[in-house]
Amino acid sequence: MTDCSHPNATWHKVADLDELPEGRVMPIHVGSRTLVLTHFDGAFGALDNRCPHQGGPLAEGSIEKGWLRCPWHGYDYNPLNGSPPEGFDDAPPCFATQTREDGVYVALPPEEDRVRTVSDVLVETMVNWGVTHVFGMVGHSNLGFADAMREAESRGELTYVGIRHEGAASFAASAYGKLTGRLAACFAIAGPGSTNLLTGLYDAKVDRAPVLAISGQVPSKVKGRGAFQDLDLESAFADVARYSATVQAGSDHAELMTLACKTALVQRDVSHLMLPDEVQMIESDEPAGTPDGRVGDRHTAPSSDVLAEAMKMITASKRPLFIVGAGSRFDMSPIVDLAERIGAPLV
């Protein structure tokens, strides 16, 4: 019999008694942990939500013939204690449960102290480059990066906007770039979650809006082997992204994010980073990147002769009209002031 008890565990109420019908499963969230709560044979069980095979979400599975079946590859586990069928030795961690008068309780050990990861390096670098908003959808293959964004949001450095379709995320990031001139990011899981970003990214590319796209990716060890949601994202994004790179374990992580942000901002285009699942959680003490010394002053001014000639033409004109291009959209205040002073309409 598998022992689901843990030392120094604390009991947490996770569901009402009638909330989960017999033979069903559902996700439960306690602190930063996600578990799957099961109801089978009159008892409740609690397991880690991550399938030990390839990380599938067990709470999206079902109980079939007495086994909790992972929705990805059909791996089976005992729904009450997580033990696998005979011949298998991988099992999700299980946790003790109690049924009390007011609901179902789960005993969980204290959470381990959070360590700084590659994802933190990437997010901190992204924030240093001026990214304040990320639009996206959290899922199985981008949880490490999502956790780093949650930390940044708790520090007041970032705003994460959850959406219901990745296409909405890329269009939102594109609109943000067009309206503000600043860099925003969109965020998706591996496979079709990331390819759903493409239409909105083409919108940004055509209209020259700076956008950073972040894709989760399947674990490196199963890349190219036909794993669940294993797609060739490098090829899929090759046309739309001016800069695209996969962040590997041995990469210069801050530099890759720096190049992605710089390219998107300077070229007014799309940049794309792919993050294999396991790389996101690698511990790192690497410093975050910054734009210091990486981008020159892009403000330009006409010569005094050109300004003098322009003023002469304005002074001599009877009905001056200002035709203002898109390049002036973030510096309109002095233009409007001048137009109002001389009574010139703006187009």
End-to-end CA distance of the chain: 78
Rounded-to-integer distance, Cα 196 and Cα 347, Å:
36
CA distances from 211 to 35, 148, 201, 223, 254 (A): 34, 19, 8, 26, 18
Check residue 245 and give its pLDDT.
97
Bridge partner list, 133: 159
Contact 98, 43 (CB under 8 A): no
3-state secondary structure of 281: helix
Mean pLDDT per 10-residue segment, the chain (347 residues): 82 96 95 92 95 87 96 92 93 96 95 93 98 94 93 96 96 96 96 96 97 95 83 95 97 98 97 96 96 82 83 84 78 84 85
Rounded-to-integer distance, Cα 185 and Cα 189, Å:
14
Q: How many helices (H) and strands (E) does the chain have?
A: 9, 16
Q: How many CB atoms lie within 10 A of CB 156?
A: 7
Angle between helices 253-267 and 118-128 in degrees, nearest 10 = 30
Check residue 2 and give its pLDDT.
62
Q: Write the CATH number of the domain with boundaries 10-108.
A: 2.102.10.10
- The DSSP string of 207-253 is TT--EEEEEEE--GGGTTTT-TT---HHHHTTTT-SEEEE--TTS-H
> Do 10-108 and 118-281 share a fold?
no
Q: What is the pTM of this model?
A: 0.74
Check residue 298 and give its pLDDT.
67
190: Cβ contacts below 8 Å, ≥ 6 apart: 141, 142, 215, 216, 217, 218, 229, 230, 231, 233, 277
Contact 46, 11 (CB under 8 A): no
Q: Among 334, 210, 228, 309, which Cα is nearest to 266's?
A: 210
Check residue 281 and give its pLDDT.
95
Check residue 237 and give its pLDDT.
97
Q: Among 158, 187, 157, which Cα is nearest to 172's?
A: 187
DSSP 59: G
Cα-flanking dihedrals φ and ψ of residue 146, to 5°? Answer: -60, -40
The CATH number of domain 118-281 is 3.40.50.970 = yes
Bridge partner list, 28: 35
Residue spans of the domains in the chain: they are 10-108, 118-281, 304-342
Check residue 323 and give its pLDDT.
87
Task: Match 């996770």 to its residue by tokens.
Answer: 14
Residue pLDDT, tens place only, 77-106? 999 999 999 999 899 999 999 999 999 999
Task: Match 């906007």 to its residue by tokens.
Answer: 161
